[in-house]
Amino acid sequence: MKDPRVIVCAGGGGVGKTTTSAALSVALAARGYRTLIVTIDPARRLAGAMGVPITDVVTPVPLPAARGRLWALMPDPRRSMGTFLDFLFADEPEAKARMLTNNLYLGLADAAAGVHELVAMNLVARAATEGDFDVVVIDTAPSRHAIDFVTYPARLAALLGGRTVAWLAGLAQRSGGATATAPRGLLSWGTGHVEHLLARVTGPNLVRDTANLFADLALVRERFVALTRRASELLLGERVAYALVAAPTAAARDDVLFLAARLEKLGRRPRAIVLNRADTQAAPWVRALREGHGVAPSITEVLDVLEQERRTRATAADALAVELRSKLSWAAVVRLPYVEASAPEDIVAALSTELDAHLTALLPDAR
Amino acid sequence: MTAANGNVRLAARSLAPAVLVMGKGGVGKTTVAAALATLEAETHGLAVLVEFGDGESGRRALGPTHKGVEHVVIHAAEAIQRGATPLFGSATMAKLALGNFAMRPLLKAAPAIRELAMLESVRQIVEARPGVRVVVDMPATGHAVAWLRTAKQGREFLGSGPMFELCDRVARELVAPGRASIIVVTLPERLVLEETLELCESIALDPGLEVARIVVNRVPLPLAQECLVDARALAQGGGALAQPAAALVSLLEARAAASAGAVAALEVFAHGPHAIWQVPLAPVDPSARDVARWLRAEGAA
């Protein structure tokens, strides 16, 4: 068993991050690295392009370009909460049964942030241990907070061990009407007023369910912390390189600067910024048609339109590249062309060929 | 007033007072929301653009001059405080309760409370401005649907009490047919479209709102049909240019498929002549004003 290198791809929505991550993994596999591509937010996009199902199981990617060295892990977000509870409450079946009937839990299950990411990272950790990979490419969710979830569970874990749980447990007991004695100790003087207000506002149900939920979660705090630590190691460890994916739009520019600042706060810096839709010159086939003899005027006219579009994109990309090189001078800026094709696998193939020349920007010891 | 403007007004009138703009991240949701507010202000004099978070992206989309558009930014903490004030009887009492050592981390860990408070803020904005359309730039897909469900879920779960009443108010006066219209923004890409269809279905199922409009953003302008015929002939003719011509054919086909496929797939969910609006692909960021102009043209189509 060896310790794989990890490349974390982050970026805002709509910049082609998923396709770029897929292309990067294909490029790595084609170079001979045993590669695992993990997508946190599969949404069928990458799966479709790679020809693999959305499942918790590591699946070989059948693309010929990957030469049998690429595997994919695309866990379904809808199943994560169940997997999460199975893991947390493996030793506490009764608490798990209570969780599943807790109204608050049922209501919150949709919205609970970070759970899917945690579950996915746990799967990645297992796959990385068992799978003998050289490189793991992690395609994060398209969000400015794609890496923040690493800190969120730590806060929740702290909360579970803190005074809130004790307070809530006492409050639930009292609001249930079992005892009417005044709180002492941890529950300070002013808290009585808060309890009174809270019970008046929410009614007894919410307080009781909240208290039970937290009490049950507190039971499995250790497992929760272990899960969080594993996710942190994978995303913030020594062997991790970050690639921020952007495109020449104002929104993508703001997202990439925001993400770089977030990474900086975690003591990390992106190794590379991949700029999509940023071709510097016309595609070879466009040049061939332009220089060819006897090409119909209808084709020449369309080529003119395409060239005009490309120039407009390139102007925006030039300006962005200059700004990023000055603000994030330590990161390599990799420019990729705009690939227009109907089939996502064609785009992945085209971009992986382009990325091959830039692998050293992401892997310090690329061969 | 031209016929085109008349059509836009007719289409716009069938929308509810609150317009919730949804879609996955990166589809241009904010720009479309800002454009809708701009269009509304141009037509009716006034409109509100509601944004959650820091307000940075809405400001960028609206640009420096946005006559008639009131840009309201809702911050989570303020929304909770505002929503809690009537519940606790006074701002001081609300502050006392929310600032409590146990409540603070609890609020951070319980997402539904924040979301409910933000919806309540939107409800208040709509209530305070009768006759003015309020366009809301909702968060990205999965999250936004969960948001809209919080009011009904809270109502069922709480059963009674002031917080139940708050949930009930939001469910009846905001997240209800005739009170809010959903506009979904999407892109003309097969996989994005599939997700959009799923989103429309899930909105119809719960919270039970109908998608009033679908905006297909960044639709590539179709290129001359003649070129496709000539390029195909060149590709089939063999020789040095056959391969470059085949690449051109594939590009032209991709564009045509993107545009046609978008409309065909989305018509299933859309109703009426203005149900689908297309916004053309601009090589660089279009402003809200540009998009408003295109939307106006779409309304006239």
CA distance B220 to B209: 30
ipTM of the prediction: 0.74
**Chain A nearest C-alpha distance from B106 (Å):** 8
Facing A203 at nearest CB: one of B30, B161, B194 = B161
Of A300, A302, A281, A298, the C-alpha closest to A290 is: A300
pLDDT value at B268 more than 70: no
CA dist B43 and B10 (Å) reads: 11
Question: What SS3 state is found at A58?
Answer: coil
For residue A106, what pLDDT is reported?
61
Instruction: Inspect the interface and report whether the beta carbons of A14 and B26 lie closer than 8 Å.
Output: yes
Contacts of A153 in chain B (CB under 8 A): none
Dihedral angle computed from the Cα positions of residues A320, B69, B56 and A111, in that order, rounded to the nearest 10 degrees: -120
Place B6 in a pLDDT band, splitting at 50, 70 and 90. very low
In this prediction, residue B108 carries a pLDDT of 62
d(CA A19, CA B191): 12
% of chain B residues with pLDDT over 90: 32
Other beta carbons within 10 angstroms of residue B273's beta carbon come to 11
Contact A239, A4 (CB under 8 A): yes
Q: Which residues of A touch B157 (CB under 8 A)?
A: 103-104, 107, 205-206, 209
The stretches of chain B forming alpha helices (DSSP H) are 3-13, 29-44, 56-62, 76-88, 91-98, 103-109, 111-128, 141-158, 162-173, 190-205, 225-236, 242-267, 288-300
Residues 6+ apart with CB under 8 A from A34: A69, A131, A132, A133, A134, A135
CB contact under 8 A, A13 and B254: no
Q: Which residues of B touch A344 (CB under 8 A)?
A: 190-191
Portion 215-274 of A in contact with B at CB < 8 A? 248-251, 254
Minimum distance, in Å, between the CA of residue A366 and any CA atom of chain B: 32
What does residue B189 show for φ and ψ, rounded to 5 degrees?
A: -120, 140
Once rounded to an integer, what is the mean pLDDT over residues B239-259?
89
More confident site: A135 or B283 = A135
- Is B163's CB within 8 Å of A289's CB? no
pLDDT, residue B295, reads 82
CA A104 – CA B242 distance, rounded (Å): 63
Q: Which two tokens stand for residue A281?
A: 């010159």
* Inter-chain touch A201–B103, beta carbons under 8 Å: no
Say yes or no: A75 contacts chain B, CB-CB below 8 A: no
Residues of B in contact with A203 (CB under 8 A): 158-161, 163-164
Q: Is a pLDDT exceeding 50 seen at residue B10?
A: no
Q: Do A113 and B108 touch (CB under 8 A)?
A: no
Cβ atoms of A256 and A11 within 8 Å: the answer is yes
Classified as helix, coil or strand, A139 is strand
User: Which structure tokens are listed for A175?
Assistant: 């609001």
> pLDDT at position B7, please?
35
Query: What is the per-residue pLDDT for A153?
Result: 57
- Domains of chain A, CATH where assigned: 5-79+113-147+232-282+314-362 (3.40.50.300), 92-112+155-223 (no CATH)
The reported pLDDT for the residue numbered A7 is 95
With a cut of 50, which residues of chain A have pLDDT below it?
1, 110-111, 177-189
Paired tokens of A145: 């907070």
B interface mutation test: which of A46, A298, A303 has the most B CBs within 10 A? A298
- Chain A residues near residue B102 by CB distance under 8 angstroms: 163-164, 167-168, 191, 194
Measured from the Cβ of residue A209, the count of other Cβ atoms closer than 10 Å reads 20
Instruction: Name the 3-class secondary structure at A307.
Output: helix
A151/B contact by beta carbon, under 8 A? no
Cβ–Cβ gap B250/A197 under 8 Å: no
Q: Is pLDDT larger for residue A294 or for residue B7?
A: A294
Helix or strand holding residue A67 (H, E): none
pLDDT (tens digit per residue) in B177-234: 999 999 999 887 766 777 788 888 888 888 888 888 888 888 877 777 899 999 999 9
- Say which of B84, B87, B251 has its CB closest to residue A340: B251
Look up residue B126 and give its two tokens: 């709509």
Q: Look at residue A180 in the predicted model and tell me its pLDDT.
A: 37
Eight-state DSSP code of residue B55: S
* Interatomic CA distance for residues B117 and B113, integer angstroms: 6
3-state secondary structure A233-282: HHHHCCCEEEEEEECCCHHHHHHHHHHHHHHHHCCCCEEEEEECCCCCCC
| Contact call for residues A26 and A63 (beta carbons, < 8 A) | yes
Helices (H) and strands (E) in chain A, counts: 16, 8
CA B27 – CA B4 distance, rounded (Å): 27
| A189 and chain B in contact, CB less than 8 A | no
A197 touching chain B per CB within 8 A: yes
Quote the pLDDT of residue B260.
76
Q: Kindly report the nearest CA distance between residue A32 and chain B, in angstroms.
A: 29
- Single-letter amino acid, residue B196: T
DSSP annotation of A318 reads H
pLDDT score for B270: 55
Q: Which residues of A touch B159 (CB under 8 A)?
A: 203, 205
pLDDT attached to residue B40: 92
Task: Write out the two tokens for A191.
Answer: 């808290």
Residue extents of the structural domains in chain B: 3-221+273-300
Which CATH superfamily, name and number, covers B3-221+273-300? Answer: P-loop containing nucleotide triphosphate hydrolases (3.40.50.300)
User: Which residues are B71's β-sheet partners?
Assistant: B49
B143/A111 CB distance under 8 A: yes
Q: What is the pLDDT of residues B139-182, one digit of tens each?
A: 876 678 878 888 888 888 777 888 889 999 999 999 999 999 99
